[in-house]
Structure 1
């Protein structure tokens, strides 16, 4: 389960790096992003939302699996792993906390992406920040 979490978090990291360098990849400035890039904005928004949901789901599944390591499961005759491997359990807790922090940050990134998408559909001065 934990190796799946590592692969999912790595894929989400690559998506975030692509989002970071999106300004260098796309030609033109932000003012030039008109209806030609509307479909691309939909793609970025959906990619951000999917990455945020998948990372949160993978962290939740890993948290559930780690609860079996802490408590054991008597009906399956699984022993408590944390009684023997204390350092492993401490590292898993740290990894899960970092994963949940990452999913919160990805939700913020997803909301920024949704803002960039829906400003194409708003009246001209509705979603613009006030200037000086």
Structure 2
């Protein structure tokens, strides 16, 4: 199943990207005010990369889920037998991995929402996106 191999590559790349984002926020916390001109551009680039990571991770998880469903049910048209009748432990592990992948996709979507809020807050008046009035 090539979908599972691709899922490993995609989730590894997404984990590496998230580690780079953490490093970026760590560095930017110590260099406040030095790069003001490129701050807006970096926020947009970060937002677009966050969106790409979420969509690609979700798509890879969906492809792996589709392959897993074929492994569970089999396909008489293609003469594929049910794999889960023989390898039950493998099927439980794949099910857990796909479930964890969807949870990770949802968490990355929440991070992307925070990036979106950060970007669009730069373009709004001070009273527009305030959570609580004073």
Matched, 1:99 2:101: yes
- Counterparts of 1:6-85 in structure 2, within 5 Å, are 6-26=8-28, 28-29=31-32, 34-85=36-87
- Number of aligned residue pairs: give it: 131
Unaligned runs of 5+ in 1: none
Unaligned runs of 5+ in 2: none
C-alpha root-mean-square deviation of aligned residues, in Å? 2.0
Using the TM superposition, give the Cα deviation of residue 128 of structure 1 relative to its aligned residue in structure 2, in angstroms: 4.1
Partner of 1:82, secondary structure, is coil
Output one character per residue of 1:1-26: Cα deviation in whole Å (capped at 9) or x when no partner. 11110110011111111111212233
TM-score normalised over the length of structure 2: 0.89
